[in-house]
Chain A
Amino acid sequence: MKKIISSYAYPGFIFARAQDAAILVQKVKDKISLVNNYEANGKMKTNIAFLKVPVATVKLYFKKPDQLLIKNEKGISFVPKTAVNINLNNVLNNGKYSVLDAGADKIGSTVVAVVKLLPEDDNADVVLSTLYIDPLKLVVLKSKTTTGITEPMSWR
């Protein structure tokens, strides 16, 4: 009897957790979808072993669906092309993906839900995205993106 319960209950449990993760991702997506475009002012500090780069005053421009520009007001700045993923619109609204529940973790004192996004497109640049979501505030506190390409560092 025990075996019957476990074999039937387990897939349902997995499905329910995956569904919860998908709902959570959708809620975060709804929140950031409120932003159609923005212009922001900031300071950028670059720490790369072989480059000495001073702290730069930058302007960030974003426009849906996936345009992001980081502009250094004085001189050039080096930013990896995958830095477009600092804008979560680019991660969450970039094509179709499967959502997997990867459990929970802690960032500082905050308990976060860990969710993995697997692109359905085999040829997508992004192989895997892992999001650490604060389920109460509905914001992403950390994301990890794995790309399948070696790409040049973009600079502006």
Chain B
Amino acid sequence: MSYGKYIAYGLPDKVIFSFNTKDYKLPKGVTFDFEDGSTKKTPEEKLQHQKGKVEIAIGSYTINKGISDAVFK
């Protein structure tokens, strides 16, 4: 996490979230084209493919202005 102008509230400007993809399951009914396994991977490549990363760069916050519960439903 890195901080900028919202550091007084402890809110980051950038968050990088890493996780092991092998621990996650895709929702039912969602399909993707997976690799066919025809190419051999090095151990480093296999390890890398078990990691996922989500990076969120936040430009602006509106703080303590109230949010309806309906937003989360």
Contact = CB atoms under 8 A, between A and B. Distances in A.
A and B held together in a complex: yes
- Classify chain A's interface size: 35 or more
Contact of A35 (B11, B23, B69): B11
B17 A67 contact: no
A56 B34 CA distance: 22
B66 interface: yes
B7 A153 contact: no
B58 A28 contact: no
Nearest to B51: A49
User: Is the contact region of chain B dominated by helix, strand, or loop, or is it mixed?
Assistant: mixed
Interface of A: 28, 31-32, 34-51, 58, 60-63, 67, 69-70, 78-80, 82-83, 86, 88, 137-143, 150-155
A128 B30 CA distance: 31
B60 A152 contact: no
B72 A67 contact: yes
19 contacts: A28-B10, A32-B9, A32-B11, A35-B10, A39-B65, A39-B67, A40-B59, A40-B60, A42-B59, A45-B56, A45-B57, A46-B54, A46-B55, A48-B52, A49-B52, A50-B34, A69-B72, A150-B23, A153-B27
